[in-house]
Structure 1
Amino acid sequence: MNPVIVIPTFVSPRRRKDSGSVIATYDHTTPLSNPGELPRLLTSLQKVRGIGQIIVLVAAEPAISDQAAEKVQDIVSRFPSLNIAIIGADECNLVQQRMEQLGLGKLSKEIGLVGYGAIRNLGLVLANVMGFDSIVFLDDDEVIDDADFLQKGVYGLGKLTRKGVPILAKTGFYLNSEGSYLSKSQDKWYNRFWQQGKAFNKWITKAMRGPRLSRSNHVCGGCLAIHKEAFKRLSFDPWVARGEDLDYMLNLRMYGSDIWFDNQWSLRHLPPASTSEGTRFRQDIYRWLYEYRKMEYSRTQIDLMQVKPQSLEPYPGPFLEPGITKRIRITAILRSLARKDKKAYRQAAKAARTEAVMYAQRNCSKYFEFQFVWPELMARMDSDQILHTAIVQSVARRQAAANMAAAFPVAGAGAGVDPGVTSEIRLNIAE
C-alpha cells in the first residue's frame, strides 16, 4: 500500500483554557513560543521503516496563521530525512478555491483548519488529491517505538476477512506514560454516574484477549488507518465538539461498514497536562448530547443502518442512552463540589441544561446533509493535478522561505521570496 501520514498540530498565541467556540476548543494547543510535542514525534518517526509522505496540518487563529506555519516549518526543517509537507492557511485556501471552481460550493465549515472533524476532512481531501490509497492519522503528542509501526498499521487494510467482509478502517491503541493500555479511571464518588474509564477498560481488556483483528467499539484518532474506499465515501463529522474519531466509527456503521481493532498496533500517547479539566468535560457534554441526538435522528432515515446502544456494550453504549442528559448534569454538579476547577464545572453543568442541548438539536441533521455532497466531492477531486501542483508549489515556497531565513537570519523569514508566487499559484487554479 501507499499510505500518507497526516498529523494535525494546534498552535495558539499562548497556552490558554478556552477559545470560547465549541468547535475550536482543543484538548491542548502549543504556544507560538514553545516547540511543543511535535519534535518528539518526528524524532521517533525517523526510526520507522517504510515512511513516505508526511503531511502536518497547522491549525491556528487567522491572526497568527502565517507565524504558526513558519514555526512548524522551522521545526520540520530539522528532520531532512523525513518528507514533510506543511499545510497551513494558504494551502487550505487553495483547496477551497478549487472546490468552488469545480462547483462544489463553499465548504469551509466542513473542510478546513478549524475543528477536529473539519481538520481530519482536510487530511482526507489532500490524501485523495495526491493519489494515496490510504491514510494514517497520528497526533503530535505521541511517540512511536516500533520500527514496524507503519507496516502493522496497514496490515489487513483493504483485505477481506474469512467471511468476505472488507477491512477499510482500523485502529490501534494507546499506551500511557505507565506503559498501560488501560484508562486511568478515577473511581470516585463524584464519578458515580460517569464511569467512562471503567467501561472502556472492560471493553479493551476483552479485545486484547481476542484475535489480532476484531470489530471495534473504540477508535484512537492518533492511531487510525483508513483505506481510500472508506474515506472517499465517508467524511468525519465537523459538528462534533470532540471525539470525532469514535464518531467516525458510528458513521461507518450507519453507512454499512465498520472499523477494526488491531491488538498488535500501538504507540505511546503522552499528552501535556490539561489546563482545565472542567473545560474538557464541557466539551464532552457537547459531544455526548450531540452524539445522542445524532443517533436518534439517524433512526428516522430509511437509508441508514440502525445503530443501537445495546450493540455498543460495554462502551460507548451507556453514553448513547436516553438518560445521558441527566447523568451529565449530575456529574458536572458533583465535580464542581469536589474538583479544583469548580467554576468550569459549574459552567459545564449550565451548558448541560441549555446551550449544549440547543446545539445538539440545531446541528444533529447537518452531517447527513453533508454526506450527500462528500462522495461526489471526492470523486471529482481524485488525483486532481491542478490542485496537486498548486499545493506542491505553495509548500515549496514556504520551504524556500525557511531555507532563506536560516541562511540569512538578519533579513527575516520572507527575504528573497517573490511576493507574487502565491498570487501566481492562485491564478493558475482560476485558469
Structure 2
Amino acid sequence: MNPVVIVPTFVSSKRRREGGVLTTYDHATPIESPGELPRLLASLQKVRGIGAIIVLVVSDRSIEAQAVDKVQAVVSRYPALSTLVVGAPEMDLLYQRMEQLGLDRLHKEVGLSSYGAIRNVGLVLANVFGFDSVVFLDDDEVVDDAAFLQKAMYGLGKLTKKGIPILAKTGFYFNSEGSFLSKSQDKWYNHFWQQGKAFNRWITKAMRGPRLSRSNHVCGGCLALHKEAYKRLSFDPWIARGEDLDYMLDLRMYGSDIWFDNAWNLRHLPPDSTSEGTRFRQDIFRWLYEYRKMEFSQTQIDLLQVKPSSLEPYPGPFLEPGIRRRIRVTAFLRSLARPDKRAYRKAARAATGEATTYAERNCSKYFEFQFIWPELMSRLENDQILCDALLQSSSQRAADLYPEVVPSAAGAPTLGLGTRRAIDPGVTSEIRLNIQE
C-alpha cells in the first residue's frame, strides 16, 4: 500500500488565551518553544519505508505566518524525510481550488480550526495527492518500531474470513511509564466518572485477544484509514474533542467498523495539558453532543442504530440517558477537591446550559455534511493543479527561509510522487481472525 503520514501540530502565541470549545487544544506549543515535533520527526527517520509526511500547522490567527515559518524551520532539520508543511497559505489555495470546481468553501468542515476539521484537511490532502491510505500521528509521540508502517498496513484493505473489509484500524499508546493502561484516578470525586477505569477493562481484554479485533476505542494518534473509508466518511467538525472515537461511531452508523491491532503501538509523551477544569468542560460538550447525535441518528432510516449496550465496558456508559446528571455531580465533586475549582463550577453550569443547547443545535449537521463529502472527495481526487500549487507554495517558503539550501522553487518537494514504494503488509488477501462478536 501507499500511505501518507498526517501530523497536526498546534502553535500558540506568547499570551495564550483559552479558545472556544472547538478551538481549545490539549497542548499547543508556544511560538518561542521548540515543542515535541522535532522528537517525533527524529524518530520517524528510523521507520522503514517512510514516505510522504504532511504536517498541518494549527495556530492562532494572529501568528499564522510565524507559526508556519517555525514549523518549516523544524522540518528543514530533517531533510531525509519527504515532508510537506501545510498552513494558512496552503489552505487558501485549497479553498480557491474548491471554488473553481464549484464546491462550497466549507471552512467549518475542512479547516485548521477544530479537531475534526483538521483531520478532514488531512483526508482531503491524501485524496488530492492520490494516496490509498492515511496514518494519523500526533506531534507528542515517539515511534520506536522500525516496522511501524508495515504494522500500520497489516490487514488494511483486506477481508476477514467472513468477508468483512478492514478499512480502518487503530493501535495503542504506551505512556511514560511503559504501560498501555490509562493513568486513571480512582478517587472519591470520580465515583460517577470512571472513564479511565472503563477503558482499562476494555483494552486489557483486547490485548489478550487476537491481533485484530473489532474495536470500541480509537487512538487518534495511531490510526490508519483506507481510502475506501476516508473517501466515504469524514470526521465530525462539530465535536469538541474525541473526534477519533466519534469516527468509530460514525463508521458503525454507516455500516463499517474500526479494528484494534494489539501489535501496533507507539509512545505517547504529552507535555502538561491545559487546565483540568477546562478539559472537563470540553468533555461535557463532547459527551452531551455525542449522546444527542446518536439519538438523532436513530431517526434516520439510512443509518444503522448503535446502542450503548454494544459498547461495553467503554464508551457505552457515557452514551446513556443518565450522562447529564453524572456530569453535574462529577463537576460539583471535583470542584470540592481539585485545584481548579472555578473551572469545574463553570463546567457544571455548562451541563445544563450552553452544552445542552450546543448539542441540540448541531446534532444533525454532521449527517447533512455527509451528503456533500463524497462529492467533494471525488472532485478533488488526484487533482494535479492543486498538487502543483501546494508543492510550489511549500517550496517557495523553504527557499525564502533557507536560500542557501533551496536556491529556487524548482526544488519543490515531491512527496515521493512517482517514486513511492508500496508498504508490504505481509499478509494474504484474506485474514483469518477469531472475532468475538
TM-score exceeds 0.5: yes
Q: Which residue of 1 aligns with 2:366?
A: 367
Give 3-state SS (helix, strand or coil) of 1:193's partner: coil
Q: Distance between the aligned counterparts of 1:380 and 1:393, measured in 2?
A: 21
Indicate the residue corresponding to 1:45 in structure 2. 44
Deviations 1:243-284 (A, max 9, x none): 000000000000000000000000000000123111000110
- What are the equivalent positions in structure 2 for 1:232-381 lying under 5 Å apart? 232-381=231-380
Q: Does 1:11 align with 2:14?
A: no
The corresponding residue for 2:393 is 394
Residues 8, 139 of structure 2: 8 Å contact kept: yes
Task: Provide the identity percentage.
Answer: 74
- 1:206 equivalenced with 2:197 (yes/no): no
**Aligned partners of 1:40 and 1:398: how far apart in 2?**
23
Aligned-partner Cα distance in 2 for 1:103–1:275: 40
CA positional deviation for 1:227: 0.3
Matches of 2:172 and 2:395, distance apart in 1: 35
Give the Cα–Cα distance (whole angstroms) in 1 for the partners of residues 401 and 85 of structure 2.
12
Do the aligned partners of 1:16 and 1:275 also contact (CA within 8 Å) in 2?
no
1:363-414 deviation line (CA, Å, top 9, x unaligned) = 000000000000011011110111111111111111111212x779xxxxxx
Is 1:96 equivalent to 2:104 in the alignment? no
Cα shift at 1:93:
1.0
CA distance in 2, matches of 1:95, 1:305: 33
User: What does 1:190-201 correspond to in 2, within 5 Å?
Assistant: 190-201=189-200
1:74 aligns with 2:73: yes
Distance 2:265 2:9 in 1: 20
The equivalent of 1:411 in structure 2 is none
Q: Check if 1:167 corresponds to 2:160.
A: no
Secondary structure of 1:278's counterpart equals helix
SS in 2 for 1:372: coil
Partners of 2:283 and 2:61 in 1: CA distance: 26
Shift of 1:15: 7.0
Hey, what's the Cα distance between the residues in 2 that align with 1:14 and 1:336? 29
CA distance in 1, matches of 2:3, 2:26: 27
> Residue type matched to 1:394 in 2?
S
The Cα of 1:16 is off from its aligned counterpart by 3.7
Shift of 1:61: 1.6
Within 5 A, what are the aligned runs for 1:96-135?
96-135=95-134
Query: What code does the residue aligned with 2:302 have?
Result: D
Structure 1 position 17, deviation (Å)? 6.0
User: Matched residues in 1 for 2:291 and 2:405: separation?
Assistant: 54
- Bigger RCO of structures 1 and 2 (CA < 8 A, at least 6 apart): 2
Alpha-carbon separation, structure 2, partners of 1:337 and 1:184: 21
Q: Distance in 2 between matches of 1:291 and 1:268?
A: 28
One-letter amino acid of the counterpart of residue 247, structure 2: Y
Give the residue type in structure 1 aligned to 2:154.
Y
Structure 1: where are the runs of 5+ without partners? 409-415, 419-431
- Letter of the structure 1 residue corresponding to residue 177 of structure 2: E
1:53-72 equivalences under 5 Å are: 53-72=52-71
Instruction: Provide the C-alpha distance between the structure 2 equivalents of 1:350 and 1:359, rounded to a whole number of angstroms.
Output: 13
Moved over 4 A (4+): none
Distance 2:16 2:393 in 1: 31
In the alignment, the residues of structure 2 paired with residue 32 and residue 66 of structure 1 have an alpha-carbon distance, to the nearest angstrom, of: 11
Secondary structure of 1:94's counterpart equals helix
Quote the Cα distance in structure 1 between the aligned partners of 2:136 and 2:17: 25
Conserved? CA contact 1:17–1:279, under 8 Å: no
- What SS does the aligned partner of 2:105 have? coil
Q: How many residues align?
A: 410
- Mark the CA change 1:210 to 1:70 in structure 2 (over 3 Å): closer, same or farther: same
Specify whether residues 63 and 417 from structure 1 end up closer, same or farther in structure 2 by C-alpha distance, changes over 3 A only: farther
Q: What is the rounded CA distance, in whole Å, between the counterparts of 2:336 and 2:14 in structure 1?
A: 29
Give the CA RMSD over aligned residues.
Answer: 1.5
Task: Quote the offset at 1:14 in angstroms.
Answer: 2.8
Aligned amino acid, residue 244 of structure 1? E
